[in-house]
């Protein structure tokens, strides 16, 4: 059987081009996602700063357990801010046998200025030099409260030497430090921070950080192995019994130490894993639909060959084996071809993520044999299953039936109709359920809904087409003979056209829904941010942040009506296994003059102490109302219970939750994403220049932007954040568009004989083309009707769930793209093969086996 | 004789193909077409039978039911000693593969395979080792020894039919069914094809059942059975071309008159 299959395949390879192409793209997508997934799983960040300490103690993740007993499901979420360790821990660890030293490390990020240069810098206590280790190159260790030792790269950047002074912009004010020494990491390694590293005296660090410790590095006695040391330390660190929910200190060894150095490692890892699994899953689901269509169509077009084999000598099983072997060969070939592009794509994706700051620069794509094997394996499984099910009917039908010159189509069978209705019901159910989907699961739910509904179309397609032809028949007949022909041929080839319809509907349904969910979310966010921003000027701190005293000082400036500081952080809820929400901490005084959050219940003036205002979407998700209590943790793992004092609408444009600034500041690393929003007195002409001077003096390196410029920055930020989703959606849409074009081309090319019969009967080429055009109009009309309905059913609940508005935002360009795209592609995909099919002489074409 | 036609030879050995009360209805309800209305006939081993009739008389349907390519609505078919009624598609195929040869009017060959592979196709699908000597013999018999490596597209219509016959004869079947094998051929090629069929009966003691509308082709047969409107209208033994043509014309004239159909052999 194999050799016969091979010979048949070699004769007409063009027949399988559509299937091959679909499989190649699927293999590339699965390989790319597999490589990213594996790289993400293996990524732990470089162990640079703590290279010399084999055992670390830190709190890096939040564990939340839902359910109990057997059903207990524990979620482990990485924290977004560093969590302080219990104060008694360093001494308790140092007292253990086998421990040479337990060194506490803390860091403060700030700005350093010397001469004319400014640089971001990370301050550490001097004792932490032993953890890398850093060795003194020159000078001496800092001993007094205002002594400073710089790393060599920082010293070069600032252009300072030993004995000179450096200004550090710390919380309350500007302090001047003396450089006493220059250090460099041993063995040429050391952290690849964009901020330079500097060390101050231990006592000075303690007062700066209020005695907090974030990491304890444990150094062993000479003869103790890291594993033994870890066990020792665990006795002190791990709580007895099963730990309750929350963020607890852990003992970390080996490769995992990399995630202790920066929070970006774990968060980047989670992101990559989530994105690659979602994308890979969606690609596979769509691949199944597409390949089912192409394999079905190509089997249909060979019914004569199959009938002959059945009549002569092949049992149904042998025929099925033939089709399966053929498709298997294509799958192996396609898999081999698709793997390399997939690997290249993964590398490109990694570079894009690094460029956009989503993952740290030391994230490397590691390519093992596993993703290609899985990709080829998936392709093979899909191909075999679709080929087998496509060949079921042709193999079982009586040979003489299949050998007859005309293929009379049957009415839809009961099993098929039932399955179609089940798929339809399933799709509608999914659509209803999708109203409660959150942002990250939105794409997956949309694909699932579209999948179910398009499967229903594929199963019930022949009925839809016959009904459509029946409805359109009177109008078509008015157009003369070609119209009548068009109506008749559409009606009688309904089963064949069903494959074409489902491929086109998939493209319209997916394109109309996925893309516009994303654009709706972005549009609403932009709208809310624009409408809610009342400030005239905004100071943006950047990575080094802004000192908390800056807001007060700017508020005291003449000409400034209000100055409000705004920090951003994260909050994890105790429900739903620790889902995270974005939080903004804002000064309550003067809040109303710089932002309008569109409050619908309660009042923001009540934001004092442990209180929170929640946006409408989060309120729904958390079942919260004014007066309710929310339990959860801040980004640094500190448990928090807050009372809801207000509910507002503009959560997408700002943040899902709003708390008093002092509350958040205590739990968020002072720095990232800090803003100061200002309202100026317009009657005072000198206010702006005064403001600019002050900001330059007090916070060098920060940006001062007007309202318009800030809005533009926000816009681009929203667009940037959506880049990943949009890229994934674009790739998926390209895939289904290619599949739709393929199917249409194959279908038209397969009508060569039919056109020849018409031409021999007296139809001119022009008339045949006109007939094909009318049929296309009918099919495209049905496509748009059904496809847009599917898109609407998918889109509306999803948009309601993710943005709170029931009307999705579809720009005019979107309508044009979807409808115009379908029409143009459909026309090209029919016209070109039709012209090609009409080029052969009818007498020759009539003898052609389809 | 009013009983259903049985073989003109003795009842022993058993007929190669035997059908009883064979009925076939296509379609349902008002659109139904009765192709066969209760036909009973035996085709004896070692005979060459021609089945004739106008279009719509049911001759192709009779052939397809007898060969197991089509399932009858009622009646039984016994082929090579086996009743076809209860057999699954797979079992039917296996039976056809080894015991039956079939030659269609057109589209007999798989265009992707060479002549040699086409001839060996049933054998290979039946996982039986091909006998090279027999292949050489058959190829010589049909006169295509030099064309074994060519593809069907490179052969003329007559040559393609000869390949089909070679394929049919290769497995040494109990019966060979032919559906208008010479319909698309010129008289020389047709004569060659009919000679081959005649040889297989005379030399190999095979059985041939051929559907045709051509009196010349029918004259090669030992027996000519004529169908009209799904029933047997005539059964002649070793007739010549003239008699056959005469009978056909009369059948056609009677049909045009609209007079009743015959259920048995008409008086000569």
Query: Tell me: the pLDDT tens digits for A632-684?
Result: 888 888 888 999 999 999 988 888 999 998 888 877 765 455 888 888 888 87
Q: Chain A contact for B108, CB < 8 A?
A: yes
What is the structure's pLDDT at A611?
Answer: 92
Q: Give the residue from chain B lying closest to A399, CA to CA.
A: B69
Task: Summarize pLDDT for B47-65 with one digit per residue, the tens.
Answer: 999 999 887 788 888 988 8
Q: Taking the CA of residue A823 as centre, how many other CA atoms within 13 Å lie in the half-sphere pointing to its CB? A: 10
Work out the angle at residue A110's Cα, subtended by the Cα atoms of residues A106 and A116, and round it to the nearest 5 degrees. 140
Contacting residues of A for B93, CB less than 8 Å apart:
310, 313-316
In a domain, A571, yes or no: yes
Residues A653 and A689 in one domain: yes
- The chain A residues in contact with chain B (CB within 8 A) are 1, 4, 7-8, 10-12, 304-305, 308-318, 396, 398-401, 403, 849
First-residue to last-residue Cα distance in chain B: 13
Residues A93 and A165 in one domain: yes
Using the beta-carbon criterion (under 8 Å), do B108 and A313 form an inter-chain contact?
A: no
In a domain, A278, yes or no: no
Reading the block at residue A332, the tokens are 């192996």
Compute the count of residue pairs across chains A and B with CB atoms less than 8 Å apart.
Answer: 69
What is the structure's pLDDT at A29?
Answer: 93
What is the structure's pLDDT at A645?
Answer: 93
**Torsion sign across C-alpha atoms A78, A79, A82, A86:** negative
Residues A602 and A724 in one domain: no
First-residue to last-residue Cα distance in chain A: 22
Contacting residues of B for A1, CB less than 8 Å apart:
125
Give CA–CA dist B195/A322, Å, rounded: 36
The neighbour count for residue B127, using CB atoms within 10 Å, is: 8
Give CA–CA dist A619/A614, Å, rounded: 6
B187–chain A nearest CA distance, Å: 22
What is the structure's pLDDT at A27?
Answer: 94
Using the beta-carbon criterion (under 8 Å), do B70 and A12 form an inter-chain contact?
A: no
Residues A726 and A763 in one domain: yes
* Residues pairing with A136 in the sheet: A183
Using the beta-carbon criterion (under 8 Å), do A7 and B112 form an inter-chain contact?
A: yes
Contacting residues of A for B71, CB less than 8 Å apart:
398
Task: Summarize pLDDT for A375-418 with one digit per residue, the tens.
Answer: 999 999 999 999 998 888 777 777 776 666 445 666 777 888 89
In total, chain A counts a number of residues equal to 850
State how far Cα A266 lies from the chain centre: 16
Q: Give the residue from chain B lying closest to A6, CA to CA.
A: B112
What is the structure's pLDDT at B2?
Answer: 45
Residues A488 and A598 in one domain: no
In a domain, A620, yes or no: yes
A contact test, residue of B110, B124, B154 with most A CBs within 10 A: B110
Helices (H), B79-229: 89-99, 115-125, 132-142, 157-170, 187-202, 215-218
Decide if A516 contacts A817 (C-beta within 8 A): no
What is the structure's pLDDT at A171?
Answer: 63
Q: How many domains does chain A have?
A: 3
* Radius of gyration over every alpha carbon of chain B, rounded to an integer in angstroms: 18
A848–chain B nearest CA distance, Å: 10
Say whether pLDDT at B89 is over 90: no
In a domain, A347, yes or no: no
Beta carbons within 8 Å of A817's beta carbon, 6+ residues apart: A511
What is the structure's pLDDT at A375?
Answer: 93
Contacting residues of B for A315, CB less than 8 Å apart:
89-90, 93-94, 125
Say whether pLDDT at B216 is over 70: yes
Residues A692 and A741 in one domain: no
B contact test, residue of A4, A15, A391, A400 with most B CBs within 10 A: A400
Residues A528 and A588 in one domain: no
Q: Chain A contact for B124, CB < 8 A?
A: yes
- Domain boundaries, position A652: 542-701
B11–chain A nearest CA distance, Å: 30
Give CA–CA dist B223/A783, Å, rounded: 60
Give CA–CA dist A139/A160, Å, rounded: 13
Work out the angle at residue A363's Cα, subtended by the Cα atoms of residues A360 and A364, and round it to the nearest 5 degrees. 160
Q: For chain A, which ranges sit under pLDDT 70?
A: 1, 171-173, 187-195, 239-243, 401-410, 437-440, 543-545, 548, 577, 669-673, 844-850
Q: Chain A contact for B71, CB < 8 A?
A: yes
Q: Chain A contact for B90, CB < 8 A?
A: yes
Q: Residue B71 is nearest to which of A315, A318, A398, comparing CB atoms?
A: A398
The neighbour count for residue B178, using CB atoms within 10 Å, is: 27
Which residues of chain B from 9 to 38 reach within 8 Å of chain A, CB to CB?
none
B224–chain A nearest CA distance, Å: 24
Residues A626 and A489 in one domain: no
H-helix or E-strand spanning residue A347: helix A316-355
Enumerate the domain spans of chain B: 17-255
Using the beta-carbon criterion (under 8 Å), do B110 and A308 form an inter-chain contact?
A: yes
Residues A182 and A82 in one domain: yes
Average pLDDT, whole number, for chain B?
83
* DSSP letter string, B211-246: E-S-HHHHTTSSEEEEEETTEEEEEEES--HHHHHH
Using the beta-carbon criterion (under 8 Å), do B121 and A316 form an inter-chain contact?
A: no
B246–chain A nearest CA distance, Å: 31
Q: Which CATH architecture has domain B17-255?
A: 3-Layer(aba) Sandwich (3.40)
In a domain, A269, yes or no: no
* DSSP letter string, B113-127: S-HHHHHHHHHHHTT
H-helix or E-strand spanning residue A289: helix A263-300
Reading the block at residue A476, the tokens are 């078509």
**Cis ω before A743 (30° cut-off from 0):** no
> Could you give the 3-state DSSP secondary structure of residue A138?
strand
Using the beta-carbon criterion (under 8 Å), do B70 and A304 form an inter-chain contact?
A: no
What is the structure's pLDDT at B3?
Answer: 44
Residues A769 and A648 in one domain: no
B107–chain A nearest CA distance, Å: 8
Confidence of residue B260 (pLDDT cuts 50, 70, 90): very low
Q: Chain A contact for B223, CB < 8 A?
A: no
In a domain, A324, yes or no: no
Work out the angle at residue A42's Cα, subtended by the Cα atoms of residues A36 and A46, and round it to the nearest 5 degrees. 110
Helices (H), A301-315: 303-312
Give CA–CA dist A47/A265, Å, rounded: 11
In a domain, A147, yes or no: yes
Q: Chain A contact for B126, CB < 8 A?
A: yes
B8–chain A nearest CA distance, Å: 30
Q: Taking the CA of residue A155 as centre, how many other CA atoms within 13 Å lie in the half-sphere pointing to its CB? A: 23
Decide if A590 contacts A670 (C-beta within 8 A): no
Q: Give the residue from chain A lying closest to B71, CA to CA.
A: A398
Residues A752 and A803 in one domain: yes
Residues A722 and A594 in one domain: no
Q: Residue B107 is nearest to which of A8, A308, A399, comparing CB atoms?
A: A308
């Amino acid at each position: 059987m194999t050799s016969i299959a091979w010979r048949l395949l070699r004769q007409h390879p063009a027949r399988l081009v559509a299937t091959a192409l679909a499989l190649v793209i699927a293999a590339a997508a699965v390989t790319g996602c597999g490589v990213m997934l594996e790289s993400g799983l293996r990524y732990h960040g470089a162990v640079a700063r703590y290279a010399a300490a084999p055992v670390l103690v830190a709190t890096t993740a939040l564990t939340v357990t839902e359910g109990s007993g057997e059903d207990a499901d524990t979620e482990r979420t990485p924290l977004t801010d560093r969590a302080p360790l219990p104060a008694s821990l360093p001494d308790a660890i140092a007292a253990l046998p086998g421990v040479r030293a337990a060194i506490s490390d803390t860091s403060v990020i700030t700005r350093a200025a010397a001469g004319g240069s400014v640089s971001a810098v990370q301050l550490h206590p001097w004792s932490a030099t032993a953890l890398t280790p850093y060795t003194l190159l020159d000078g001496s260790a800092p001993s007094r409260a205002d002594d400073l030792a710089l790393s060599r790269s920082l010293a070069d950047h600032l252009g300072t030497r030993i004995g000179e002074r450096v200004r550090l912009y710390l919380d309350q004010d500007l302090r001047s430090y003396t450089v006493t020494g220059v250090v460099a990491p041993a063995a040429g390694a050391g952290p690849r921070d964009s901020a330079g590293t500097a060390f101050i005296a231990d006592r000075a660090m303690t007062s700066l950080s209020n005695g907090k410790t974030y990491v304890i590095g444990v150094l062993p006695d000479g003869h103790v192995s890291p594993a033994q040391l870890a066990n020792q330390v665990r006795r002190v660190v791990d709580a007895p019994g099963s730990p309750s929910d929350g963020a607890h200190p852990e003992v970390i060894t080996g490769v995992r130490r990399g995630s202790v150095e920066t929070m970006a490692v774990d968060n980047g890892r989670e992101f990559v894993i989530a994105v690659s699994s979602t994308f890979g899953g969606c690609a596979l689901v769509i691949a199944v639909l597409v390949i089912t269509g192409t394999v079905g169509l190509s089997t249909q077009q060979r019914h004569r060959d199959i009938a002959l084999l059945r009549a002569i000598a092949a049992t149904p099983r042998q025929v099925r084996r033939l089709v399966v072997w053929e498709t298997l060969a294509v799958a192996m070939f396609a898999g081999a071809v698709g793997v390399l592009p997939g690997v290249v794509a993964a590398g490109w994706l990694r570079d894009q993520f690094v460029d956009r700051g989503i993952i740290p620069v030391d994230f490397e794509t590691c390519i093992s044999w596993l993703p290609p094997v899985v990709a080829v394996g998936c392709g093979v499984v899909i191909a075999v299953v679709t080929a087998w099910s496509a060949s079921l009917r042709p193999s079982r039908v009586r040979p003489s039936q299949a050998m007859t010159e005309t293929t009379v189509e049957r009415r839809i069978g009961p099993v098929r109709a039932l399955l179609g209705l089940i798929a339809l019901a399933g799709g509608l159910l999914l659509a209803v359920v999708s109203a409660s989907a959150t942002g990250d699961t939105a794409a997956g739910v949309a694909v699932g809904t579209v999948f179910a509904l398009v499967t229903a179309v594929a199963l019930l397609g022949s009925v839809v087409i016959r009904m459509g032809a029946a409805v359109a028949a009177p109008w078509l007949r008015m157009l003369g003979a070609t119209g009548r022909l068009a109506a008749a041929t559409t009606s009688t080839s309904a089963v064949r056209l069903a494959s074409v319809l489902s491929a086109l509907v998939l493209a319209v349904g997916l394109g109309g829904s996925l893309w516009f969910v994303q654009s709706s979310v972005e549009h609403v966010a932009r709208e809310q941010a624009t409408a809610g921003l009342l400030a005239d000027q905004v100071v943006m701190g950047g990575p080094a942040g802004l000192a908390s005293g800056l807001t007060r000082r700017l508020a005291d400036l003449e000409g400034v009506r209000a100055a409000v500081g705004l920090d951003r952080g994260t909050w994890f809820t105790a429900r739903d296994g620790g889902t995270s929400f974005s939080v903004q901490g804002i000064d309550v005084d003067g809040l109303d003059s710089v932002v309008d959050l569109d409050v619908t219940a309660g009042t923001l003036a009540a934001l004092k102490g442990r209180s929170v205002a929640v946006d409408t979407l989060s309120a729904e998700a958390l079942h919260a109302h004014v007066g309710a209590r929310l339990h959860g943790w801040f980004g640094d793992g500190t448990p928090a219970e807050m009372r809801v004092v207000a509910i507002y609408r503009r959560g997408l444009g700002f943040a899902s939750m709003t708390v008093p600034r002092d509350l958040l500041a205590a739990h968020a690393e002072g720095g990232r994403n800090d803003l100061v929003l200002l309202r100026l007195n317009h009657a005072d002409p000198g206010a702006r220049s005064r403001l600019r001077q002050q900001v330059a003096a007090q916070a060098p390196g920060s940006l001062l932007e007007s309202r318009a410029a800030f809005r533009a920055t926000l816009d681009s930020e929203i667009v940037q954040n959506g880049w990943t989703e949009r890229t994934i959606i674009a790739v998926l849409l390209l895939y289904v568009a290619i599949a739709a074009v393929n199917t249409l081309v194959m279908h038209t090319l397969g009508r060569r004989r039919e056109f020849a019969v018409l031409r021999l009967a007296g139809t001119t080429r022009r008339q045949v083309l006109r007939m094909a055009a009318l049929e296309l109009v009918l099919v495209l009309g049905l496509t748009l009707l059904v496809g847009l309905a599917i898109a609407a059913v998918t889109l509306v609940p999803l948009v309601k769930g993710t943005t709170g508005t029931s009307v999705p935002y579809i720009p005019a360009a979107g309508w044009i793209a979807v409808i115009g795209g379908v029409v143009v592609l459909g026309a090209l995909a029919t016209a070109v093969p039709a012209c090609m099919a009409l080029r052969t002489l009818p007498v020759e074409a009539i003898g052609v086996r389809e | 004789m009013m009983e259903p036609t049985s073989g003109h030879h003795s009842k022993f050995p058993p007929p190669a193909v035997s059908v009883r009360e064979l009925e076939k209805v296509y379609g349902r309800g008002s659109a139904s077409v009765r192709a066969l209305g209760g036909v009973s006939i035996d085709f004896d081993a070692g005979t060459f039978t021609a089945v004739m009739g106008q279009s719509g008389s049911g001759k192709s349907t009779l052939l397809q039911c007898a060969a197991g390519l089509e399932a009858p609505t009622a009646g039984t078919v016994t082929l090579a000693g086996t009743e076809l009624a209860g057999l699954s598609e797979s079992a039917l195929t296996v039976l056809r593969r080894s015991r039956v040869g079939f030659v269609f009017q057109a589209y007999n060959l798989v265009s992707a395979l060479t002549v040699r592979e086409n001839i060996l196709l049933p054998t290979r699908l039946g996982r039986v080792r091909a006998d090279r000597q027999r292949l050489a013999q058959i190829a010589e018999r049909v006169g295509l020894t030099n064309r074994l490596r060519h593809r069907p597209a490179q052969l003329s219509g007559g040559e393609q039919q000869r390949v089909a016959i070679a394929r049919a004869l290769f497995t040494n079947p109990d019966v060979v069914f032919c559906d208008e094998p010479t319909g698309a051929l010129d008289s020389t090629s047709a004569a060659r094809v009919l000679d081959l069929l005649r040889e297989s009966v005379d030399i190999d003691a095979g059985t041939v059942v051929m559907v045709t509308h051509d009196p010349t082709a029918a004259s090669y047969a030992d027996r000519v059975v004529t169908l009209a409107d799904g029933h047997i209208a005539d059964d002649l033994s070793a007739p010549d071309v003239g008699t056959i043509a005469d009978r056909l014309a009369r059948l056609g004239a009677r049909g045009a008159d609209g007079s009743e159909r015959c259920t048995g052999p008409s008086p000569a």
